[in-house]
């Protein structure tokens, strides 16, 4: 576990979970371009130091904290450390996990990790850091959901359920804290080409699957721009908006079997 402490306690910071790669890394670099220093959180041994170096090259402080957020005591320890050493300006709950698997073939650990990381870590860390955020003149919480939040899906089951939780949690907190200095927002990205495996899988899905693809850097740029515009439900592009509209108005008895059949075909190809 690696901890670094601030050299300037009057500076305000953004905390990003899942910051070692993909969208989390993109958020860190985009914030650095916007002159915001960061606290980067990820599992040990995932190369968080490399991201910190890139942030520092852009002229901002980067402090790293390596821990497993599926464990309640680790969440509490992180929050205590942050509240003691940093004035928090932004919280980005980006850490999450999921996958495509037949429910009966999933291990208990596989299912538990999705629930603990996507649901528990987001809710508890937000709760524990809110007193810090409320001390700022204005502060922001951005939760990273997924377009999977818009519908149940067979062969993914727990993942879309967990992202629906994130969506509803954020919308509820937005309303509850509407008269305070803390603004809550959720962004629901579609699939992103974050590594070789995901890129290959997405490219096999054909033209329509590829239409809405955005690189993590672009997702981070749009999400932060809209966050600071106080957009509580962030849509990334027209495909994202169309997906939301279709999922919102297409009855579940139609969309559920359609989505499940599509995911089943993906399993059968692997």
Q: How confident is the model at residue 242 (pLDDT cuts 50, 70, 90)?
A: confident
Q: Are 216 and 189 in contact (CB under 8 A)?
A: no
- Map tokens 């959720």 to a residue: 186
What is the pTM assigned to this prediction?
A: 0.90
CATH entry, 12-269, from 3.40.50.11540, 3.40.47.10, 3.30.460.80, 3.40.50.720: 3.40.50.720
pLDDT at 191 (0 to 100): 77
269: exposed, middle or buried (Cβ count in 10 Å: 0-12, 13-18, 19+): exposed
The pair phi, psi for residue 14, each rounded to 5°, is -110, 130
Contacts of 256 (CB under 8 A, 6+ apart): 151, 152, 153, 154
Highest mean pLDDT pick, 1-10, 27-36, 255-264? 27-36
Q: Are 256 and 155 in contact (CB under 8 A)?
A: no
185 to 39, 86, 189: CA distances (angstroms): 19, 22, 13
pLDDT at 124 (0 to 100): 98
Q: How far apart are CA 213 and CA 177, in angstroms?
A: 33
Q: How far apart are CA 185 and CA 228, in angstroms?
A: 10
- Map tokens 């993590």 to a residue: 216
Which residue did the predictor score with more confidence, 205 or 235? Answer: 235
Give the pLDDT confidence of 182-204 residue by residue, as tens digits: 999 999 998 766 544 444 544 44
Pairing between β-strand 233-234 and β-strand 182-187 as defined by DSSP bridges:
parallel
Contacts of 221 (CB under 8 A, 6+ apart): 30
In this structure, the number of other CB atoms found within 10 A of the CB of residue 17 comes to 26
Give the pLDDT confidence of 60-98 residue by residue, as tens digits: 999 999 999 999 999 999 999 999 999 999 999 999 999
Q: How far apart are CA 198 and CA 147, in angstroms?
A: 16
pLDDT at 206 (0 to 100): 47
Kindly report the average pLDDT of the chain as a whole number.
Answer: 90
pLDDT at 199 (0 to 100): 46
What is the 3 state secondary structure string of the chain?
CCECCCCCCCCEEEEEECCCCHHHHHHHHHHHHCCCEEEEEECCCCCHHHHHHHHHHCCCCEEEEECCCCCHHHHHHHHHHHHHHCEEEEEEECCCCCCCCCHHHCCHHHHHHHHHHHHHHHHHHHHHHHHHHCCCCCEEEEEECCHHHHCCCCCCCHHHHHHHHHHHHHHHHHHHCCCCCEEEEEECCCCCCCCHHHHHHHHCCCHHHHHCCCCHHHHHHHHHHHHHCCCCEECCCHHHHHHHHHHHHCCHHHHHHHHHHHHHHHHHHC
Where is average pLDDT lowest: 4-13, 142-151, 224-233, 244-253?
Answer: 4-13
Pairing between β-strand 233-234 and β-strand 139-144 as defined by DSSP bridges:
unpaired
Give the pLDDT confidence of 86-140 residue by residue, as tens digits: 999 999 999 999 999 999 999 999 999 999 999 999 999 999 999 999 999 999 9
């Amino acid at each position: 576990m690696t901890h670094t402490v601030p050299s300037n306690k009057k500076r305000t910071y953004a905390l990003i979970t899942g910051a070692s790669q993909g969208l989390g890394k993109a958020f860190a670099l985009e914030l650095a371009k916007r002159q915001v220093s960061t606290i980067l959180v990820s599992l040990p041994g995932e190369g968080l130091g490399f991201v910190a170096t890139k942030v520092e090259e852009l002229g901002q402080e980067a402090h790293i904290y390596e821990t497993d957020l599926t464990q309640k005591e680790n969440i509490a320890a992180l929050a205590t450390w942050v509240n003691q050493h940093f004035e928090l300006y932004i919280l980005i709950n980006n850490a999450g996990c999921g996958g495509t698997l037949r429910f009966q073939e999933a291990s208990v650990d596989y299912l538990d990790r999705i629930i603990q990381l996507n649901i528990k870590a987001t809710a508890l860390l937000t709760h524990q850091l809110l007193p810090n955020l409320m001390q700022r003149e204005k502060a922001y919480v951005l939760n990273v959901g997924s377009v999977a939040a818009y519908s149940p899906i067979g062969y993914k089951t727990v993942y879309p359920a967990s992202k629906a939780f994130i969506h509803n949690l954020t919308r509820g907190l937005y309303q509850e804290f509407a008269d305070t200095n803390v603004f809550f927002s959720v962004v629901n990205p579609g699939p992103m080409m974050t590594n070789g495996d995901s890129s290959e899988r997405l490219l096999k899905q054909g033209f329509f699957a590829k239409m809405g693809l955005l690189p993590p850097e672009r997702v981070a740029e749009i999400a932060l721009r809209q966050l600071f515009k106080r957009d509580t439900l962030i849509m990334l592009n027209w495909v994202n908006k169309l997906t939301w509209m279709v999922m919102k108005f297409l009855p579940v008895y139609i969309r559920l079997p359609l989505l499940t059949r599509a995911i089943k075909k993906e399993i059968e190809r692997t």
